[in-house]
A = this chain, B = another copy of it.
């Protein structure tokens, strides 16, 4: 076990593994959030002898992907359904249907937001002439 720039790293064969705090920091989320993702079946972790979670550094990318999807309004359930598509690189009919449905949902949200934006702009415009 070595220490590199403040981040404790466990070398298992050639694979460096980081602990939950480091993952959380590098992904920009809380430690609680990472544990939550595991609980929801989105993220798995190796365990050290003493039971501490150990992650490969790529896990940070995956966590950021979760954030993107949450921001897009997907539930953790949907994201869980999404992961096999990514990991296996192929989809069945049901999965393709789900992907299209979510895509459409997000597109609708975008147009909703743009509509709201226009309404806000109207208000700003109107009241700008009457300060």
Contacts and interface: CB of A to CB of B under 8 A. Distances in A.
A123 B82 contact: yes
A72 B117 contact: yes
SS class, residues of chain A in contact with chain B: helix
| Stoichiometry, copies per complex | 2
Query: A68, A74, A115 — which one has the most chain B CB atoms within 10 A of its CB?
Result: A68
A120 B91 contact: no
A13 interface: no
A124 interface: yes
Interface of A: 65, 68-69, 71-74, 82, 85-86, 89-91, 95-96, 99-100, 102-103, 106-107, 109-110, 112-117, 119-121, 123-124, 126-128, 130-131
